[in-house]
Chains A and B, each alone.
Chain A
Amino acid sequence: MPDLIRLALVAGAIGSLDVAVARAQGPASADPYGDEDPDLAGELQKLEEDDSRLQIYGFADFTYTQFLMDQSSPWFDFYFSPYPTFGIGNLNIYLAKQLSPRWKSLIEFRLLYLPNGAEAVSSTGESERTDTSVLDYQDKTEYLRWGGISIERAWIEYQAHSLLAIRAGHWLTPYGIWNVDHGSPVLISIRRPFVIGLSLLPESQTGIMVYGIRAIGDSSLTYALTLSNGRGPVDTYLDLDNNKGIGGRLVLETRWLDEFRLGASAYTGTYSARSHSYGLREGEVEADHALTERYRELGMAADLRARSGPLLIHAELISRQAVFSDGARPTDEVVPDAQQPDYFAYGGYVLAGYRLPWFHLMPYVTAEYLRPQWRTVPKIYVGALGVNVAVTPTVTLKTQVQRASIPEARNIVIPEEPVTIWDAQVAWVF
């Protein structure tokens, strides 16, 4: 049960696929820590006794980042700040409630300092930062900088049967390991893999998801099917075509080793972007709705999570194929009168961690390979070495050194020199 608590509280996944599996699996469920947590067990018991309470919880992380390249590195000209920096990365709040025995709801949002400080570069090369400073109406002598809110998910779910739960709203796409378990305190490394950040499969979708779990002896088989607006410029509340995005996931979890979970996911849909213009012709208002970009896509992913004693392995392989429609192919941003080709992008990573018997220490290493869709960046290699320390069940310390290399880059603003970053982070649940 403690494993379940941590997943539920930390990853905000109450009622999610992972927790459904965890509930069915009991002690065999996935847990990157692999230790007991009596305090949270008591907390969960209280929550279960009063399920109708609105549960408010969340996570946050605070990171020190320093780039280890020489101060004259060209990376600092275009992409990064050469100065070591402290920063709050994630500040996510969850609102969860068991509405009735079969109905529940989860809302997650991330509080942002953005758009303050967001940098935009004009076509003439001028860089400008957004400044949200405004005079505080409560104290006319003081300026405050307002920030933003990103709605990460908002859904309601009806649990009809262990084989059928129906979730409606805005939910995280059920694929892989990282996309669903995105709370920094439960993540082993500090930075998410590039291949996850590329969103080869949509990070989240708005629509309906059904899922269920079937126990098969000591193992379980979980399925999920999704129907959504698909990807689009405003896909969280407006579909700009008649093609709904569909997807699915199958997960086999067995007691082979101490933990063994194998998943396969797929998503297909059509992205459409349109521009609207209005004008007057012969006294009549005339509207023009032009399709500016459209592509069909197919994303596929496979993931493996395995643990044997203190050794933990996470691996994901993700691909995306996109085929643009004739007449709605985007122009290339660099070459005049040229358009972007269809593409096949893919990548994968492997993370291996080893839980030492002292102080909940887990040294880890990651390796990643990526073939992105950008023509000027044919491939990316990333490697990282770090240590994760679960100082308490709700506080995790991490430090890592990551090195990324982009060989054969044909972009004049992407240097050949690898990027080396040192991060130190504290992530906590509250």
Chain B
Amino acid sequence: MIRSAAVSMSLPAVLVITCLGACLYDPDDPCSPNQELVDGVCVCVAGAVSDGDGGGCTPCGANEVATAAACTCAEGYIRADEDGPCELLPAGLGAPCDTEGLACADPVYDFCRATDATSGYCTSTGCETSDECPPLHACEEEDAVRFCERPPTGQGMACASADDCAGLEASYCETFQAHICLVPDCTLEPDSCHEGWECCDLSGLGLDQTLCVEEGQCPT
């Protein structure tokens, strides 16, 4: 009888010893899909971005690059709407130019819109409304010329620190809430922000700063 009891005990004992190694846990795959283990924590693999709290990681799609917490269009590509794919910009649109030197060669996008002294980008003229402009571009007027203006570079791009926005027109990293790059030092009258955005004066919050924020998002 002792022997049978010992045999009865041996089975769970073997199971315990076996599972002390691993029954459920896989040491070669301790993270979620599109994650890798780095210094003891799970982080997104290259080309994937975090879905937020507990949500794992999602690989960026075609023509997208992973930034701090979002997939943004690669250079030369643009998203027609927020959830749309990144599509190739029309040839010549956005090409670098200089009002005193390098002209725009494309006959459709033949207007050089200066963004920094004389250098800028090529775009089209003659629009009446933004609907006539390429995706995300807004119809603006300056010096009696109506042209399609692209959004500020980096605007709305996810960031973790000011370094992520450095060198972009949206050079201010808002690290309190949205964690995105925003255009600083805008003017309220007239509103200098791109269409769909508004200039927000943060002095009411104790910050001597104006920022372009999405319309309706300025704290009152």
Interface range on chain B (Cβ under 8 Å from partner): 35 or more
Give the Cβ gap from B31 to chain A, nearest Cβ, in Å. Answer: 6
Q: Is the CB of A342 within 8 A of B31?
A: yes
Nearest 7 A/B pairs, CB to CB: A375-B40, A338-B41, A321-B25, A341-B30, A342-B30, A326-B32, A321-B24
Known: A250-B9, A323-B24. 17 other contacts (CB 8 A): A252-B9, A300-B16, A319-B20, A321-B25, A323-B25, A326-B56, A327-B32, A329-B32, A329-B56, A330-B54, A339-B43, A339-B56, A340-B41, A341-B31, A341-B40, A342-B26, A375-B40
- A293/B54 in contact, CB under 8 A: yes
Complex Cα–Cα for A298 and B21 (A): 12
* Residue-wise interface mask of A (241-268) relative to B, using a CB-CB cutoff of 8 A (1 in contact, 0 not): 0000000001010100000001010101
With A221-B5, A300-B16, A321-B25: A375-B41 Cβ-Cβ less than 8 Å? yes
Question: Is B23 interfacial (CB-CB < 8 Å)?
Answer: yes
B186 within 8 A of A: no
A264 contact set on B, CB distance < 8 A: 9, 12-13, 15-16
In the docked arrangement, what's the CA distance between A332 and B33, Å? 17
Task: Report the bound CA distance from A326 to B31 in whole Å.
Answer: 8
Asked if A317 meets B5 with Cβ closer than 8 Å, knowing A329-B32, A339-B32, the reply is no
| Contact code string B17-44 (vs A, CB < 8 Å = 1, else 0) | 1011011111101111101011111111
A350 at the interface (CB under 8 A from B): no
Q: Does A322 contact B (CB under 8 A)?
A: yes
A-B pairs with beta carbons under 8 A, tally? 130
Taken residue by residue from 307 to 337, chain A's Cβ proximity to chain B (1 for < 8 Å, 0 otherwise) reads as 0000000000101011110111111100111
> Which residue of A is nearest B33, CB measured?
A326
**Which residues on A sit within 8 Å (CB–CB) of B56?**
326-327, 329, 339
| 8 examples of A-B residue contacts, CB within 8 angstroms | A250-B8, A292-B53, A298-B23, A298-B24, A319-B19, A323-B25, A329-B42, A339-B32
Please tell me if B50 contacts chain A, counting CB pairs below 8 Å: yes
Using CB atoms and an 8 Å cutoff, list the residues of chain A in contact with chain B: 216-217, 219, 221, 250, 252, 254, 262, 264, 266, 268, 291-293, 296-298, 300-302, 317, 319, 321-324, 326-332, 335-344, 346, 375-376, 410
Q: Roughly how many angstroms separate A342 CA and B28 CA in the complex, as a whole number? A: 10
For residue B144, CB closer than 8 A to chain A, the reply is: no
Q: Which residues of B contact A292 (CB under 8 A)?
A: 53-54
A321 near B23 (CB under 8 angstroms)? Answer: yes
Taking Cβ atoms with an 8 Å cutoff, the residues of B that contact A are 1-2, 4-6, 8-9, 12-13, 15-17, 19-20, 22-27, 29-33, 35, 37-44, 50-51, 53-56, 68-69, 160
Contact A322 B35 (CB under 8 A): no
* A339/B2 contact (C-beta < 8 A), A250-B8, A300-B20 known: no
Q: For the complex, what is the distance from the CA of A268 to the CA of B23, rounded to whole Å? A: 11
Alpha-carbon distance between A264 and B8 when the two chains are bound, in angstroms: 11
Main SS at interface, chain A:
strand
Give which listed residue, A266, A330, A338, contacts B43 with CB less than 8 A: A338
Complex interface: chain A residues within 8 A of B13 (CB): 262, 264, 302
Q: In the complex, what residues of A have CB within 8 A of residue B24's CB?
A: 268, 296-298, 321-323
CA distance A417 to B172 in the complex (A): 44
Which among B12, B17, B22, B35 is the interface contact of A321 at CB below 8 angstroms? B22
Residues of A within 8 Å of B38, CB to CB, are 338
CA A343 to CA B42, docked complex, whole Å: 12
Q: A219-B2, A264-B16 are in contact. Are A324 and B9 (CB under 8 A)?
A: no
